[in-house]
Amino acid sequence: MPIYEYRCNQCNREFSELFLNLREAGKVRCKYCNSRNLSRLISSFRVHQTEGSRLENFDTSKSQGDAFYKDSRNVGLWAKKRMKELGVDLGSKMGEIVEKGRTGKILDDYNK
């Protein structure tokens, strides 16, 4: 579940987006002005592994089935646990994003 940070070239604001899958990353728009003219920033919690290998290493089929992820509470739980494993310091901003993903609001955004 990658999280990207962007700067909008239109209104110059920065924001973060958590993606449930990489397909969504291509559809990102500015949260403030809806522009697609964005620059991706280097994420503050970037780890040594590439995104691809991180996703590869996370084998969801082993420990949890579909039911685990149907409970939205577990989504945030996983993200928090995973980032802790990666040595990521969860700031308040991060908690907010995880919370957004957890409650499904992020999906509403994409369905607009």
Q: Which of 22, 33, 41, 86 binds Zn ion (CB under 5 A)?
A: 33
110 binds Zn ion (CB under 5 A): no
Of these, 18, 30, 79, 88, which contacts Zn ion (CB under 5 A)?
30
**Is residue 16 at the binding interface for Zn ion, with CB under 5 A as the rule?**
no
Task: Count H helices and E strands in the chain, helices first.
Answer: 7, 3
Pattern of binders to Zn ion over 36-55, x per CB under 5 A?
--------------------
CA pair distance 59, 82, nearest whole angstrom: 12
Which of 2, 7, 35, 51 touches Zn ion by CB under 5 A? 35
> What stretches of 1-112 adopt beta strand conformation (E)?
3-8, 14-18, 38-41
